[in-house]
Every structure is written in structure tokens, then in C-alpha cells.
Amino acid sequence: MPPRSEEQFEAIRQERKESLKASALKLFANKGFTATSVMDIAKDAGVSKGLLYNYYTNKTELVRDIIKAGFQTALQEMDFDFTQKLDEERMKELILKNFALIESNTDFWKLYIAVITQPAVAEMVMEEIFKILEPFFTIVATYYSEKGVKNPMAYAYLLGAIFDGVGIDYMFDPEHYPLNDIKEIIIEKFIA
């Protein structure tokens, strides 16, 4: 058997890293960040604790990587051009795509909710989250500014907070939560 190439080693490395992130995401979402140990993550991923430390120096680095990757993936899945000006039709599209994200990848959203509701954990990742979400806040604030709204950035933050709240409530009871009704209300109230 010939020796592995650099590309093969990199593929193995990425596969292990993804496995560690998937295990950590599942455990953080279900047990919480503090209650999940590095050993729990390694065991769930089927690797040694030492191997985990080859990829991440600690749980904080791992949760940051998960959150960053999760938001980047969400924005890619959203497939929304944040460089184009919003009009009413594009604002509706933005709202609809946010709702589609709420319904997808529940483990990531459980982790996000767990992160934002645990001050010590939130402090570790909020700067990164706001960097990633900056295009959303900027484009929405510009939309409201052009509509003559008095404090457009506050409206952008309010819309973001509403999406967070809807996501939290939906995670607790997805079968009974009136997601479509709330989507219609938000479209009616926020597209001025």
C-alpha cells in the first residue's frame, strides 16, 4: 500500500474535525456547554482525548468553530445577496429565508439558543456572531433608513431579536408552534 499523499492526510484531518464538531454540537445542544466535557466529545466522536487536542486547544475554541461554521453555512444556505439593496420584495424574501433557516438544522439552533442564554458562553462567541451577522443588520437598517424610520438600526436589531425569539419558541414545540402564522404577521408588520 503506497504512503498517503498530503491531500489524503488533509482529507482525513477534515473528516475527523467534522466528526468532532458534529459530536460537540450534539452534546452541547443536548447537555449544555458546561456539562459537556472534552472526554464526552472525544468518546462520542470515537477518538482519544489527546487526538481532540490535536485539533482544538479547548472547548471554547471548539464552540467558536461550531458557531462560526454554523452561521457561515446558514448564510450560504440562505443564498441571499446582502450587497444588493433591499426593496419590499427582497425584504419579504429575507424574512422567508430566515424562517426556512429556523426550520432547518435544529441541533445548531439549539446550540445557538444555549449559547445566547448562557452569559459566560455567549461572551466567548458574541463578537464572532456579530461580525458574521453584520451584513444582515446593515442591509436591514439601510432599508428602514430609506423608509424614513426614526431609528433604523434599532429596527434591524428588533427584527433579529424577533427571529431569535421565534427560533427559541419553535425549538421548544415545533409540532404546535404557529410558525407560518407568525411568518405572515412579521411580513405584514415589518415590510413598511
Contact 29, 111 (CB under 8 A): yes
Whole-angstrom Cα distance, residue 134 to residue 117?
20
Inter-residue contact 69 to 56 (CB < 8 Å): no
Mean pLDDT of 88-98: 93
CATH 1.10.10.60 fits 1-56, yes or no: yes
Rounded CA separation 139/122 (Å): 24
pLDDT for residue 166 = 92
Could you tell me the residue ranges of all domains in the chain? 1-56, 60-190
74 has a pLDDT exceeding 90: no
- What is the mean pLDDT of the segment spanning 67-71? 81
Res 148: pLDDT: 95
Q: What is the pLDDT of residue 123?
A: 80
Contact (CB, 8 A) for 70 and 64: no
Check residue 1 and give its pLDDT.
Answer: 63
Q: What is the pLDDT of residue 6?
A: 80
pLDDT tens, position by position, 161-175: 999 889 888 888 889
On average, the pLDDT of the chain sits at 87
Judged against a pLDDT cut of 90, whether residue 42 lies above it is answered with: yes
16-20, 133-137, 149-153, range with greatest mean pLDDT: 149-153
Please report the pLDDT score of residue 171 as a whole number.
84
Yes or no: is domain 60-190 CATH 1.10.357.10? yes
Q: Look at the block and give the residue holding cell 427559541.
A: 168
pLDDT in tens, 107-149: 677 777 777 777 777 787 888 888 888 999 999 999 999 999 9
Per-residue confidence (pLDDT) for residue 102, from 0 to 100:
85
Q: Which residues of 104-132 are buried (b: 16+ CB within 10 A; e: fewer)?
A: ebebbbbbbbbbbeeeebeebbeeebeeb
Query: Model's pTM, two decimal places?
Result: 0.76
